[in-house]
Structures are given as C-alpha cells and as structure tokens.
Amino acid sequence: MNNATPAVIQAKGLHRHYQRGRVKALDGMDLNIKSGRIVGLIGPNGSGKTTALKSILGLTPYKGALKVLGFDPSTQRDLLMERVCFIADVAVLPRWAKVAQMIDITQGLHPRFSREKCLTYLAQSNVRLDAKVGNLSRGMVVQLHLALVMAIDADILVLDEPTLGLDLLFRKQFYANLINDYFNENRTILITTHQVEEVEHILTDLMFIKNGRLVLDASMEDIASRYVELLVAPEHLEAAQAHQPISQRVVMGRHVLLFEHTDASSLSQLGDVRQPSIADLFVALMGNPNQEGIA
C-alpha cells in the first residue's frame, strides 16, 4: 500500500458502548483506510462491524476521533453523504412506487446520480421499469436498490451484505460490475459480508473484527506473505508442530496447520504447502467469538 495516499476513513480510539457500558460494540478501534482500496470488514454476528459502519456513516453516536473524507460524520453528515453511498443488508424502498419513479426520485435527490448507468445495470436484470416495487420479488428489490446506488458517483461505497437474497448468478454479476464498471483508483469500497469466498478475489485489504476490536488489518499482499497452511500426514505431524503453528484442524484424516511468519520452504518437506483462504484464516484467528482477540 502506498503510504503517501491520503486516508479517506481515519479513526482513533473509536468507542461505542451500550447498556451503560456493559456492552462494548466498539472498544478502541483504529482505522486507516486509503483511497482506491477495496476493504473487507469481516466479523461474526455481534462483533461490532455494523456499529463501525453506522459510525462511519454518521448513523450512531460514538466516542473517539473519526474523519471520513475530512468530514466529522456526527456533525457534517449532510455534506458527507453527498460523496458516500450505502447499501444496507435490507433494501427498503416504497412499495407504492414504480421502478421508473424510483429512478426519478433518486435523480432529484442526488446530484451525482446517473440515469444512464442505472438503466444499464437494470438492463442486466429482470426488473421492468413499469413494475411496482411492491410486486417485485425480494431479489428484484435488491437488484433495483443496487442499480440506484451504484449509479451514484460516490467517493466511498459502503456495502453491508450487499447481495443478501440474490441468487448465485446475480451475485457473481454484481461483483463483476463492481470491479469492471464502478471501481477505480479514486474510489474506496468497504464491504461486510458473510459470503467471504465471493469477495476474496476482489479485496485489496482485509480486516477481522472481534469484540469491537480489529484483530487483523493487512493488505492481501501482506497476508499472502505472512500466513501459510500445511496439509501434513500423521507421520509428519510432530515435526510440523515443532514449527509452532498458530492453529490446527483435521480435514478428511489429514492435519491442516496454519503458520505465521514461517518459511514455506522449511515446511514443504512435511506435506503440501498452500495459501489459506479467507474463511480458513478467519476460523483460525477468530476462534470462539466470546474469547479475546489476537493482536
């Protein structure tokens, strides 16, 4: 990552507590997200990721320092939202409106909305312009919502479970559109999703959040050089364990060990060396979500 690139989302000591401080949704989180990155914020339910997104969008109070595109979300939300788009996990659109009316309404509300781009996205779906929102399937409502938001020329796009309720074909199409038609070096995309295998190939950076804290914050390049998995036969298990893996599991009778900052060549004689997937890394580093995180 280019350290000279300015941060578009910067937080220091971000806190958000509920129930008179007994529940810590955010517990001193630091963020430094730069322009032109696609960042995956991954965490189990209740880890604080939704609260972090709401803080960034100015939708919930917080303690600590937070700047988004140079704005304070708590006091300058109107200015901020002219340059930020948000897709929530549940698309809520007026059921009485027709699709064409929703396009008109969005065009009137947002100065950076492109009718042409919206129509292009909708042409790749089964959503008709004369259809009422109330008569659309849940998947079609999500498709409409995505088309409306992605047609806005935003500096930051925040996606909270953006393809929830969509079939596999549209999910793949959505992420292809995101990379080929929407993303560029001047835009930043922040994604939360439970379908990590579908975004793994597009991410530039990865964050794991647990108990309101980041337990991993690294570029995908750093992760590739930092972690390695070893599939080892039982007769080599003891020798592999001597290299001090940070986690271990059994898959179809073979032991899978995860190592950090360990030379892959020293492990290759003990079994098959491979790059761990995000899902495997998540399970290894996060463990029980009620336990303390890993630095």
Question: Could you say which architecture CATH assigns to the domain 35-55+78-216?
Answer: 3-Layer(aba) Sandwich (3.40)
**φ, ψ for residue 199 (rounded to 5)?**
-110, -10
Alpha carbons 126 and 47: distance in angstroms, whole number: 36
Q: In what order do the strands lie in the sheet with 247-251?
A: 247-251, 254-260, 227-232, 271-274
| The predicted structure's pLDDT at residue 77 | 93
Token reading at 20? 């008179």
Instruction: Assess contact for 65 and 26: CB atoms under 8 A.
Output: no
The pTM of the full predicted model, rounded to 2 decimals, is 0.87
Alpha carbons 190 and 156: distance in angstroms, whole number: 8
| The predicted structure's pLDDT at residue 288 | 47
Q: Residues in the chain with pLDDT < 50?
A: 1-2, 288-295
| The predicted structure's pLDDT at residue 291 | 39
Interhelix angle for 99-109 vs 115-123, to 10°?
150
| The predicted structure's pLDDT at residue 112 | 92
| The predicted structure's pLDDT at residue 294 | 29
CA 128 to the chain's CA centroid: 30
CA 133 to the chain's CA centroid: 27
Q: Mind giving me the DSSP string for the chain?
A: --TTSPEEEEEEEEEEEETTTTEEEEEEEEEEEETT-EEEEE--TTSSHHHHHHHHTT-S--EEEEEETTB-TTT-HHHHTTSEEEE-SS----TTSBHHHHHHHHHHH-TTB-HHHHHHHHHTSS--TT-BGGGS-HHHHHHHHHHHHHTB--SEEEEESTTTT--HHHHHHHHHHIIIII--TT-EEEEE-S-HHHHTTT-SEEEEEETTEEEEEEEHHHHHHHEEEEEE-GGGHHHHHTT--SEEEEETTEEEEEEES--HHHHGGGEEEEPPPHHHHHHHHH-STTS----
**φ, ψ for residue 294 (rounded to 5)?**
-105, 135
Collapsed DSSP state (helix, strand, coil) of residue 19: coil
Alpha carbons 240 and 250: distance in angstroms, whole number: 14
Domain boundaries of the chain, sorted by first residue: 35-55+78-216, 223-286
> Which residues are bridge partners to 67 per DSSP?
10
| The predicted structure's pLDDT at residue 243 | 93
Q: Is it true that domain 223-286 has CATH number 2.20.28?
A: no
Token reading at 258? 């995860």
